[in-house]
Amino acid sequence: MSKFLETTLAATTAALVLAAPASAEKFNLGREALPEEVAAWDIDVRPDGLGLPEGSGTVAEGEELFIEQCAICHGDFGEGVDRWPILAGGQGTLTDDRPVKTIGSYWPYLSTAWDYPHRAMPFGFARSLSADETYAITAYLLYVNDIVDDEEFELNRENFTSIKMPNADGFYMDDRDEVELPKFIREPCMENCKQGVEITARAAVLDVTPEETAAREAEEAAKAAESEEEARAEEAAAAETATAEAAPAAAPAAEAPAEAALDPELVEHGKKVFKKCKACHQVGEGAKNKTGPILTGIVGKPAASVEGFKYSKALRAKAEEGLVWDEAALAEFLRKPKDFVPKTKMSFAGLKKEKDLAAIIAYLKSVGQ
| Pair (152, 44) in one structural domain | yes
Q: Is position 123 within any domain? A: yes
Q: What is the CATH number of the domain that holds 155?
A: 1.10.760.10
Q: What percent of the chain has pLDDT over 70?
A: 79
Q: Which of 110, 143, 170 is the last residue of a domain?
A: 170
3-state class (DSSP) for residue 90: coil
Question: Mind listing the pLDDT tens digit for each residue in 223-281?
Answer: 776 777 677 777 777 676 666 655 554 444 445 445 568 898 898 988 888 877 876 78
CA distance readout (Å), 118 to 53, 126, 128? 11, 7, 8
Give the ranges where the chain is alpha helix by DSSP (H): 3-25, 35-41, 59-69, 71-74, 110-120, 131-144, 181-184, 210-246, 264-273, 313-320, 327-335, 337-340, 354-367
Nearest of 47, 111, 107, 35 to residue 78 by alpha carbon: 107
Mean pLDDT, rounded, of the chain: 82
The verdict on 166 and 268 lying in the same domain is no
The answer to the question of residue 232 being in a domain is: no
Query: For 322-350, what is each residue's pLDDT tens digit?
Result: 999 999 999 999 988 878 988 787 767 67
Q: Is residue 240 part of a domain?
A: no
Q: What is the mean pLDDT of residues 341-362?
A: 82
> Using an 8 Å Cβ cutoff, are 300 and 136 in contact?
no
Give, rounded to a whole angstrom, the gap between the first and last alpha carbons of the chain: 89
Q: What is the DSSP letter of 1?
A: -
According to DSSP, residue 276 is labeled: G
Count CA within 13 A, CB hemisphere, residue 298: 26
As a whole number of angstroms, the distance between CA 77 and CA 87 comes to: 8
- The DSSP output letter for 179 is T
Q: How far apart (Å, rounded) are the C-alpha atoms in residues 74 and 85?
A: 6
Q: Give me the number of domains the chain comprises.
A: 2
Residue 28, pLDDT score: 82
pLDDT of 250 = 45
Chain mean position to CA 232: 33
**Alpha carbon 162 to its chain's center:** 24
**Do residues 365 and 271 make contact, with C-beta atoms less than 8 angstroms apart?**
no
Segment among 119-133, 161-175, 263-277 with least mean pLDDT: 263-277
Q: Is residue 194 part of a domain?
A: no
Angle of the 354-367 helix axis to the 327-335 helix axis, nearest 10: 130
**pLDDT per position as a tens digit, 63-111:** 999 999 999 999 988 989 888 999 998 988 999 989 999 999 999 999 9
Per-residue b or e along 129-155, where b marks 16 or more CB atoms closer than 10 Å to that residue's CB: bebbbbbbbbbbbbbbbbbbbebebbb
- What is d(CA 34, CA 357) in angstroms, rounded to the nearest whole number? 62
Residues 69-81: pLDDT tens digits?
A: 999 999 988 989 8
Q: Within a domain: residue 270?
A: yes
Q: Do residues 282 and 365 make contact, with C-beta atoms less than 8 angstroms apart?
A: no
Tell me which of 170, 201, 216 is where a domain ends: 170
Look at residue 246 in the predicted model and tell me its pLDDT: 58
**Alpha carbon distance 348, 119 (integer Å):** 29
Burial 238-250 (b: 16+ CB within 10 A, else e): eeeeeeeeeeeee
Q: Is the pLDDT of residue 122 over 90?
A: yes
Q: Is 104 part of any domain? A: yes
pLDDT score, position 188: 80
Print the domain residue range for 92.
Answer: 40-170
Query: What is the DSSP track for 307-339?
Result: TT----HHHHHHHHTT-EE-HHHHHHHHH-HHH
Q: Which residue has the higher pLDDT, 28 or 49?
A: 49
CA angle centred on 15, ends 9 and 16, rounded to 5°:
90
pLDDT at 113: 96
Which amino acid is it at 3?
K
Q: Which of 170, 193, 217 is the last residue of a domain?
A: 170
Residue bearing the bigger pLDDT, 204 or 71: 71
List beta partners, residue 57: 155
Contact between residue 306 and residue 292 where contact means Cβ atoms under 8 Å apart: no
The pTM score is 0.53
The answer to whether residue 254 sits within a structural domain is no
Q: Looking at the domain assignment, is residue 249 inside a domain?
A: no
Could you tell me if 268 and 151 lie in one domain?
A: no
**pLDDT over 70 at 136, yes or no:** yes
Q: Are residues 271 and 166 in the same domain?
A: no
pLDDT at 168 over 70: yes
Domain co-membership, 44 together with 159? yes
